[in-house]
Structure 1
Amino acid sequence: MVHGLRDIFHRIGGVPGRLIFDNASGVGRRVNENVQMADLFLRFKAHYGFEVTFCNPYAGHEKGNVENKVGYFRRNFFVPLPTVTDMQAFNEELLGRCEADWQREHYKKGVPIHLLFEDDKNALLYLPRHPFAACRYARVKTDGYGKFSIDGKHFYSSSPEWAGREVTVRIGAHTVEPLLPSGEPITIHLRLFGKQRTDSVDVRTTLSRLLQNPGAWRNSQLRKAIPDLLREELDKLERTELKETLATMEQLSGRYGFDTALQAMEEATKLGRLTSANSIVLAARLASFEPEESPSVDLSVYDRMLEPVGGVKP
């Protein structure tokens, strides 16, 4: 919820002075007459400076208008039921559709909704200079493979050298990041949801373990993830050569990124020269290459040449 509210604030360019909530577990929990707000929401509230009001229990008349709006958006934006493969991309597209809907007239005031909203924006609070970091932190214990569990059923990889140890994990709405003691992420996973068990593995984190034990190459997740041509070439290498090639892959990944390292080594394989020197040169070239824009060419002179002359077509 905090992440969604933050996105809305920055989308509309300001912060409402007061937010009204009904039954939102992300905000807090009501015990009798008292509401205990969640720690993350309290920090979010302090960052943006808005006030909070909670609806009374069993008081449907306090939020009837909101329920009507929920029904309107459900009928107009979620029928037929959409298939969502990328939540962030879907949310961005949905926001655009909602803003396009503001062109219609308000049912009571007879004025386009976007004009009414412009008036409302004058009452918004200013945005802070920096957006709120919408995440929480947890200490977790990894298993013998360096994996840890979030939300009970969803498992994520850290790196082999962190197997059987405690790591700090930064958990956001869309990402899960195991962190080094310095605060840098070991890797970044897309956060997974649902009731079924899932496993998210970043094959890049297996490189260091493979360098210690190249014999595990055949059964590694990394072998399954790299391009077919490069995999076939690495399968042919002896243990010593394989270790040297994996060391080059790790070196290039740290300097230029994993995808660039794989692309460079695949290109070297196509050229028939998968060596450390060739891979390093190709990776540097790929990392620094910026395609030039094609120059604009006026072809109208050729069009005039092909025009009929004296009624005779060429």
Structure 2
Amino acid sequence: MESRVELFARIRRDARVEGLSVRALAVRHKVHRRTVRQALEAAAPPERKPRRGVAWRLEPFKGAIDEMLIGDTTAPRKQRHTARRILARLIEEHGATELSYSTVRDYVRVRRAQIDVEAGRRVEVFVPQEHAPGAEAEVDFGEVFVVLNGEKTKCHMFVFRLSHSGKSIHRVYPTQAQEAFLEGHIEAFNEIGGVPVKHIRYDNLTSAVTSVLFGQGRNRQENDRWVLFRSHYGFDAFYCQPGIAGAHEKGGVEGEVGWFRRNRLTPMPVVSSLDELNSRIKGWELLDEGRRINDRIRTIGQDFAAEQSCLASLPVEVFDPGLVLSPRVDRSSMVTVRMVKYSVPARFIGRRVRVSLRASEVVIFDGLVVVARHQRIAARTGCSVQLDHYLEVLKTKPGAFPGSTALARARECGAFTSAHEAFWGASRRVNGDADGTRELIDVLLLHRCMDAGDVEAGIIAALAVGAVSADVVAVEARRHAAEATSAGGANTGRHLGPPAVREVQRVVSLTQRRLMDPAAVIAGLPHDTRPLPTVNAYDELLAKRSSHTTEQGSASKENIS
């Protein structure tokens, strides 16, 4: 659409160049002659007069409305005037029959706020605040949706933000329970390398606050475990006013939740686990250090580098953020935690164990020793089973191994590899199903004291020489670990020469070699050219012995007769 400035410029040009009359200019540009005269008088269009609506009818009644609103400043909250009640009183008491509801409503909305400010009941102006380096931080949770293992899942993002630099730590958990609340703090403290020296701002989260003590300022009745956590790390908590009234008191973290969700988690991230997502988030946090907040001169990373030295040091002792439980191990060697089953070693059946329920994992203790560790399952039902916990039982019951849930889970997660499958198949062909499975279980037991890569290399080397013995696998695995260690220690020179060629003596089981398929090629053994053994010579001796025995029997009969 053409602006009035452009229209005036064309009218003035046509009048100057072609000398057209006012009437001709009005016809050409399809405007009124008054507009043409305005354009010829000045290049700038005159300002439009403000439109006079029906609000002028309200002028005689503004004083009465103000009196009602001023009276509301001391009236009970539920007995204050609404715009509809004010209109009804104006009609009844002042005969304002020409007023409409919308006219009164618009005036009341603006004027009520002004009167409240004048009476000191509402402060609409936010006063900018300065935050000393390392003094304050803010914490909040925000909801996020993640495509987890192909399924849309609701999760909770913990956000910790330093008030001075704006450095923020984000972690996504399946829940916002107290264990996630505490674990998020520990992650944040470890990432920034310290603790704020003044306080950390919170809203009234149930993970920290048991109840709000109304009428006692910002005092709260806090959760005992939360008090223990604050005492351990040595910081104070500042609780904001309940509800929307206190949202601006930690506006920094409120804005950070929204910014990170819009810029980093949109569209919904597709991951196989929350650990994978949190690893990505750590990379995004490094990128955010180059960002500037609003009109600041320095970046977040530059301000944080100056702020980090002002933080209080971390305590030496490690705080366990998990919720401590004491379930009993059932006959399936599993414990039930929040309706989910987790396996433990079979030797603990019938005993009570100590469980630390954390935001992302479940750790099971026997005294002070960790006996099992599982990824936490966010669903209401399900189970997490580890094959290692059932090996002793399966060695006495090898027939239960092929159909066990533990084996199925090990295959799903990749712990039971193709090398294990090949060893199991070869062992069953040589030793039979039961003994072959026991040999495999002995190999799986090696994982408790050896690296998985070394054990897998030992399996491959043992199969290469036709051996399906756990002892051979152990020897080859130790050889592989020793070679890796020596190779790592020897590569200290600047220029590496060609590797030394040396003959490696492999362990070979001759008995298993003969039991294996004759068509199989056994590495490391020469072809056997000796003839097959025969017992013909022994058969000749037996013939001579039988004839000699017959002659002796005939002679004895003659003597008797």
SS in 2 for 1:140: coil
62, 78, 81: which is aligned to 2:249? 62
Alpha carbons of structure 1 residues 198 and 133: separation in structure 2 relative to 1, 3 Å = same
Q: Distance in 1 between matches of 2:305 and 2:468?
A: 61
- Asked if 1 retains the 8 angstrom alpha-carbon contact of 2:213 and 2:221, the reply is no
35, 49, 61: which is aligned to 2:220? 35
Identify which range, 254-263 or 166-175, moves more after superposition. 254-263
- Asked if 1 retains the 8 angstrom alpha-carbon contact of 2:353 and 2:365, the reply is yes
Give the number of equivalent residue pairs: 295
Q: What does the per-residue CA deviation read over 1:71-128, in whole Å, with 9 as the maximum and x for residues that have no partner?
A: 1111111111112323234323313322322323331433323333334334311222
- Asked if 2 retains the 8 angstrom alpha-carbon contact of 1:253 and 1:259, the reply is no
- Asked if 2 retains the 8 angstrom alpha-carbon contact of 1:161 and 1:209, the reply is no
Q: Distance in 1 between matches of 2:347 and 2:301?
A: 55
Alpha carbons of structure 1 residues 62 and 160: separation in structure 2 relative to 1, 3 Å = same
Identify which range, 271-280 or 11-20, moves more after superposition. 271-280
Q: Distance in 1 between matches of 2:258 and 2:387?
A: 44
Alpha carbons of structure 1 residues 156 and 64: separation in structure 2 relative to 1, 3 Å = same
Q: Distance in 1 between matches of 2:352 and 2:334?
A: 11
- Asked if 1 retains the 8 angstrom alpha-carbon contact of 2:446 and 2:474, the reply is yes
Which amino acid is the alignment partner of residue 345 of structure 2? Answer: S
145, 150, 169: which is aligned to 2:337? 150
Asked if 1:287 corresponds to 2:473, the answer is no
Alpha carbons of structure 1 residues 249 and 180: separation in structure 2 relative to 1, 3 Å = farther
Alpha carbons of structure 1 residues 222 and 73: separation in structure 2 relative to 1, 3 Å = closer
Alignment of 1:32-111 (within 5 A): 32-33=213-214, 35-58=220-243, 59=245, 60-111=247-298
Q: What does the per-residue CA deviation read over 1:46-93, in whole Å, with 9 as the maximum and x for residues that have no partner?
A: 221011111121223323443222211111111111123232343233
Q: Counterpart in 1 of 2:201?
A: 20
Q: What does the per-residue CA deviation read over 1:258-312, in whole Å, with 9 as the maximum and x for residues that have no partner?
A: 66445533542343101233122012123334244597479xxxxxxxxxxxxxx
Alpha carbons of structure 1 residues 249 and 97: separation in structure 2 relative to 1, 3 Å = same
Identify which range, 207-216 or 169-178, moves more after superposition. 169-178
Q: Counterpart in 2 of 1:309?
A: none
Q: Distance in 1 between matches of 2:427 and 2:401?
A: 9
Q: What does the per-residue CA deviation read over 1:163-211, in whole Å, with 9 as the maximum and x for residues that have no partner?
A: 3432222333322122234x3222221122134x221111011101012
- Asked if 1 retains the 8 angstrom alpha-carbon contact of 2:328 and 2:352, the reply is yes
Alignment of 1:110-189 (within 5 A): 110-152=297-339, 154-181=340-367, 183-189=368-374
- Asked if 1 retains the 8 angstrom alpha-carbon contact of 2:388 and 2:445, the reply is no
Identify which range, 16-25 or 235-244, moves more after superposition. 235-244
- Asked if 1 retains the 8 angstrom alpha-carbon contact of 2:428 and 2:435, the reply is no
Q: Counterpart in 2 of 1:229?
A: 422
- Asked if 2 retains the 8 angstrom alpha-carbon contact of 1:178 and 1:186, the reply is yes
Q: Distance in 2 between matches of 1:233 and 1:52?
A: 64
Identify which range, 130-139 or 241-250, moves more after superposition. 241-250
SS in 1 for 2:272: coil
State the 1:131 CA deviation: 4.1
Q: Distance in 1 between matches of 2:443 and 2:316?
A: 40
- Asked if 2 retains the 8 angstrom alpha-carbon contact of 1:40 and 1:136, the reply is no
Q: Counterpart in 2 of 1:241?
A: 435
Q: Counterpart in 1 of 2:397?
A: 213
Alpha carbons of structure 1 residues 37 and 83: separation in structure 2 relative to 1, 3 Å = farther
Alpha carbons of structure 1 residues 297 and 188: separation in structure 2 relative to 1, 3 Å = same
State the 1:229 CA deviation: 0.8
- Asked if 2 retains the 8 angstrom alpha-carbon contact of 1:223 and 1:231, the reply is no
Q: What does the per-residue CA deviation read over 1:188-242, in whole Å, with 9 as the maximum and x for residues that have no partner?
A: 21122134x2211110111010122223223234554433212323443336634
Which amino acid is the alignment partner of residue 81 of structure 1? Answer: M
Q: Distance in 2 between matches of 1:222 and 1:264?
A: 23
Alpha carbons of structure 1 residues 289 and 32: separation in structure 2 relative to 1, 3 Å = farther
Alpha carbons of structure 1 residues 266 and 28: separation in structure 2 relative to 1, 3 Å = farther
Q: Distance in 2 between matches of 1:251 and 1:65?
A: 53
Which amino acid is the alignment partner of residue 14 of structure 1? Answer: G
Alpha carbons of structure 1 residues 64 and 230: separation in structure 2 relative to 1, 3 Å = same
- Asked if 2 retains the 8 angstrom alpha-carbon contact of 1:211 and 1:246, the reply is no
State the 1:160 CA deviation: 2.6
Gapped regions of structure 2 (runs ≥ 5):
1-180, 498-561
Q: Distance in 2 between matches of 1:219 and 1:249?
A: 19
Gapped regions of structure 1 (runs ≥ 5):
299-314
Which amino acid is the alignment partner of residue 194 of structure 2? Answer: G
- Asked if 2 retains the 8 angstrom alpha-carbon contact of 1:204 and 1:258, the reply is no
Q: Distance in 1 between matches of 2:264 and 2:200?
A: 24
385, 389, 406: which is aligned to 1:201? 385
Q: Distance in 2 between matches of 1:83 and 1:260?
A: 33
Moved over 6 A (4+): none
Q: TM-score, normalised by structure 1?
A: 0.81
Q: What does the per-residue CA deviation read over 1:23-51, in whole Å, with 9 as the maximum and x for residues that have no partner?
A: 43332332444634334433321221011
Alpha carbons of structure 1 residues 289 and 19: separation in structure 2 relative to 1, 3 Å = farther
The CA RMSD over aligned residues, in Å, is: 2.9
Between 1 and 2, higher relative CO (CA 8 Å, sep ≥ 6) is seen in: 1
